Chains A and B, each alone.
Chain A
Amino acid sequence: MAKLKVVHYINQFFAQIGGEEKADYPAELRVGEVVGPGMALTQQFGDDAEIIATIICGDSYFNENLEKAKADILAWVKEQAPDVFVAGPAFNAGRYGVACGTIADAVQEELGIPAVTGMYIENPGADMFKTKVYIVSTKNSAAGMRDAVKKLAPLAVKVGRGDKIGASSEEGYIPNGVRVNFFEKERGSLRAVKMLIKKLNDKPFETEFPMPDFDRVDPNPAVKDLAHAKIALVTSGGIVPKGNPDHIESSSASHYGEYDIAGVMDLTEETYETAHGGYDPVYANEDSDRVLPVDVLRDLEKEGKIGELHHLFYTTTGNGTAVASSKAFAEEFSKKLKDDGVDAVILTST
């Protein structure tokens, strides 16, 4: 396999130009040169890749002349046309980390050339860019160069070749919010026992799944006049016309359904059912009003307690369905509901 071509980005310090006093060093391209940490990378690349050019830029210069620096560097990278772009590693140097993240992200986004970088987990650049570029997790100082390069070089080669990237724990990058499956060396029960022993002994342990934060939204104001309000029904309980005409999946739904209930006074066993595969379907199949209370809302409509029941309802199966998918469905049909002048929605879940 031909050697991958690499363009390497470093700051003035690692180019041995100088420290803080030289941080305003303007961006510079050195074609055919391997500088500073590039040596260690080159060694680690072996026959897989080679650095064809090094770009050096002072940390202050980059951040203070962001647009120009970015434009110059992107132009040079484009001209060199590498297979992969490597920035850093930046360890715990804040401005350097932000520069590495910014430029690596820009190279990927604007040139379509894959990029990787490396830094310490508490470097502000890590939080800013970990979901955008692969950032190898390094120690907090350049003393960790050997260790950093050992992870950075192989990841750069994989990314450059377009190989499948494994889980963060395998490849050594900072978790980027994308969950990736892989096979551990020990089965889960044994990992749990070992984790418990550490926890019991107050030793550090690493959870395999950090608890997520969920979005919050501000509540909408109250509906002022129910007697004239248009109310719509939405459900994640999978209620669909009998036969599931749109083939909504029993689990991990890829789409939602929109169904007209104009003139429907009651959902019956003959006309509606559930497509949901995550709960006992018998009750909903017998009487879908148990999930989607059309009958009661019709009564309330007749009695004038609500203005009207919207003639369309929206439905999907909230069973193993990704939050991102659900969000996308809701964004789409919320817009339709708004356009149709719906005042309030009752969402039922199973």
Chain B
Amino acid sequence: MHVCTVTPISMTVGANRIVPAIAIPHPLGNPALDKDEEKKLRRGIVEKALEALATEVDGQTIFD
């Protein structure tokens, strides 16, 4: 499964399970937040990624 910010590229290159990330230089973080908040945000994305892995898909799917 693919965690990335630019989901259109992920679609073009053919990933099947896609989870949108925050921004290119910090896909799983946000330096504007304080440490705890940021980790919570990251955990949310990772949990979404795990959920995607546990979900059957027919074709390319973005897990928003």
Q: What CA separation (Å) do A346 and B58 show in the bound complex? A: 19
Q: A283 to B12, Cβ gap below 8 A?
A: no
Question: Using Cβ atoms and an 8 Å threshold, which residues of chain B touch A306?
Answer: 50
A-B CB pair tally, cutoff 8 Å: 112
Q: A214 to B16, Cβ gap below 8 A?
A: no
A222 within 8 A of B: yes
Question: Using Cβ atoms and an 8 Å threshold, which residues of chain A touch B59?
Answer: 219
Q: A219 to B17, Cβ gap below 8 A?
A: yes
Using CB atoms, name the residue of chain B closest to A349: B4
Question: Using Cβ atoms and an 8 Å threshold, which residues of chain B touch A293?
Answer: 28, 42, 45-46
Question: Using Cβ atoms and an 8 Å threshold, which residues of chain B touch A350?
Answer: 4-5, 24-25, 27
A300 within 8 A of B: yes
Q: How many interface residues does chain B have, given as a range? A: 35 or more
Question: Using Cβ atoms and an 8 Å threshold, which residues of chain A touch B61?
Answer: 219
Q: Contacts A283-B26, A284-B26 given; indicate if A215 touches B50 (C-beta within 8 A).
A: no
Using CB atoms, name the residue of chain B closest to A236: B4
Please report whether the interface of chain A is mostly helix, strand, loop or mixed according to DSSP.
Answer: loop
Q: B14 to A217, Cβ gap below 8 A?
A: yes
Q: Contacts A279-B24, A295-B39, A345-B1 given; indicate if A287 touches B29 (C-beta within 8 A).
A: yes
User: From residue 261 to 297 of chain A, which have CB atoms closer than 8 A to chain B?
Assistant: 279-284, 286-287, 289-293, 295-297
Using CB atoms, name the residue of chain A closest to B29: A290
Q: What CA separation (Å) do A292 and B49 show in the bound complex? A: 13
Question: Using Cβ atoms and an 8 Å threshold, which residues of chain B touch A347?
Answer: 1-3, 15
Question: Using Cβ atoms and an 8 Å threshold, which residues of chain B touch A349?
Answer: 2-6, 10, 21, 27
Q: What CA separation (Å) do A269 and B47 show in the bound complex? A: 24
User: From residue 39 to 64 of chain B, which have CB atoms closer than 8 A to chain A?
Assistant: 39, 42-43, 45-47, 49-50, 53-61
Q: B50 to A226, Cβ gap below 8 A?
A: yes
Q: What CA separation (Å) do A61 and B3 show in the bound complex? A: 56
Q: Contacts A214-B12, A291-B28, A348-B27 given; indicate if A219 touches B3 (C-beta within 8 A).
A: no
A114 within 8 A of B: no
**B53 vs chain A, min Cβ distance (A):** 5
Q: A295 to B27, Cβ gap below 8 A?
A: no
Question: Using Cβ atoms and an 8 Å threshold, which residues of chain B touch A346?
Answer: 1, 3, 46, 49, 53
Q: Write the residues of chain A forming the contact surface with B, with a CB cutoff of 8 angstroms.
A: 214-224, 226, 229, 231, 237, 279-284, 286-287, 289-293, 295-297, 299-300, 305-306, 344-350
Q: Write the residues of chain B forming the contact surface with A, with a CB cutoff of 8 angstroms.
A: 1-6, 10, 12-17, 21, 24-29, 31, 38-39, 42-43, 45-47, 49-50, 53-61
Q: List 29 A-B contacts (CB under 8 A).
A: A216-B14, A217-B14, A219-B16, A219-B17, A219-B58, A219-B60, A220-B16, A221-B56, A222-B56, A226-B53, A283-B29, A283-B31, A284-B25, A287-B29, A291-B26, A291-B27, A293-B28, A296-B28, A296-B42, A296-B46, A297-B46, A300-B46, A305-B50, A345-B1, A346-B46, A348-B3, A349-B3, A349-B27, A350-B25
Minimum-distance CB pairs A-B, first 9: A290-B29, A219-B16, A349-B4, A283-B26, A290-B26, A280-B25, A279-B25, A222-B56, A348-B3
